[in-house]
Amino acid sequence: MNKIKWLLAVVCLCSTFFVQAKTYMVGVALANLDLNFVSILRSQMEKQLNEKGMKSQFADAKGDVSLQIQQVDDFINQGVNAIILNPVDTQGVMPIIKAAQNANIPLIFVNRKPEVKLTGKMSYVGSDSALSGKMEIEALAERMNNKGNIAILMGSLSTEEARQRTKAVEDFVSAHPGMKVIQKQTANWQRNEAVDKTLSWLQDGNDINAIVANNDEMAIGAIMALEQLNKKGVLVAGIDGTPDGLQFIKNGKMAVTIFQDAKGQAIGAVNVASDMLEGKKTETFNWIPYQTVTQANYQEFSEKNQK
């Protein structure tokens, strides 16, 4: 009898081992690896997936919605167990949602919040876009004593974060009579486009006291344009707290940035995917907090930055 019990125990242990040893494949669909923040997000997710013992495939949509939809379909056809999605267009995600639902595959959105209701095996890991815009303009306005002309460099308008960050800035300015938005254009998150837009504003004679950018890359582009024209006294703010952005904070060329935790978002997305695959309870929204960065505190963010 004892021998039978011993054999049963061995069988149970072996069964448990094989269940735990199952290796999941996760497909990660990214909006555009040319964007600095997305590139950092990718490297952190890859690291976390490896640490979790999960296999992965990455796809770069290069800013093309149709390509991203095809890439997700390819993931499903290849038999991935879960999909992590950094969407190109936060309003155009329904084809991907339907494909994942039809395949009964968990779908985790990261960094860019979809503008549709999330149900079932879906979750969002990221930050509150409007809050980052509010924090950015509040910190900048303090430096300006709530007075002056503002120009806004927007990200791609197909994304919720660009629209929400911009609206938060405009709402703040409209509530402060001493401030005014005199220019607003998209530079699609890109440094070189921001250089061109800022040069155009300045060469047209716009009296700009501060430039509010939806991300660090565009803020850096604005700074480069200001330096090119030897324009002094214009404050510039960004969002992300990337290594490049922090360097511009350090040298005093960027007044403020809002740290967006790429590492926290990456780890959170992978952990949610893992928990869903293991049948554990997960939250629909998993918020990663922002933090304001200035020259006074940039060092702590350099130490824990995404690289």
The mean pLDDT of 148-164, rounded to a whole number, is 97
For 218-249, the pLDDT digits (tens) are 999 999 999 999 999 999 999 999 999 999 99
Other beta carbons within 10 angstroms of residue 103's beta carbon come to: 16
Side-chain half-sphere exposure of 145, counting CA atoms within 13 A: 0
Domain hosting residue 35, numbered range: 2-127+262-289
Q: Give me the pLDDT at residue 302, please.
A: 75
CATH number at residue 235: 3.40.50.2300
Distances (CA, A) of 133 to 126, 127, 167, 197, 215: 15, 11, 8, 20, 10
Residue 87 sits in the same domain as residue 231: no
Closest CA to 34 of 239, 265, 192, 230: 192
Q: Indicate whether 57 pLDDT > 50.
A: yes
pLDDT for 20 equals 43
Average pLDDT, the chain: 93
Same domain? For 253 and 270 the reply is: no
Residue 124 near residue 109, CB atoms below 8 Å: yes
In the predicted structure, residue 61 carries a pLDDT above the cut 60: yes
Same-domain status, 55 and 174:
no
Q: Stretch 256-275: mean pLDDT, rounded?
A: 97
The confidence score (pLDDT) of residue 22 equals: 77
Mean pLDDT for the stretch of residues 293-297: 95
Q: Is 282 within the bounds of a domain?
A: yes
Do residue 252 and residue 271 come from a single domain?
Answer: no
Split into its structural domains, the chain has a count of: 2
pTM as predicted: 0.88
Q: Higher confidence at residue 125 or residue 300?
A: 125
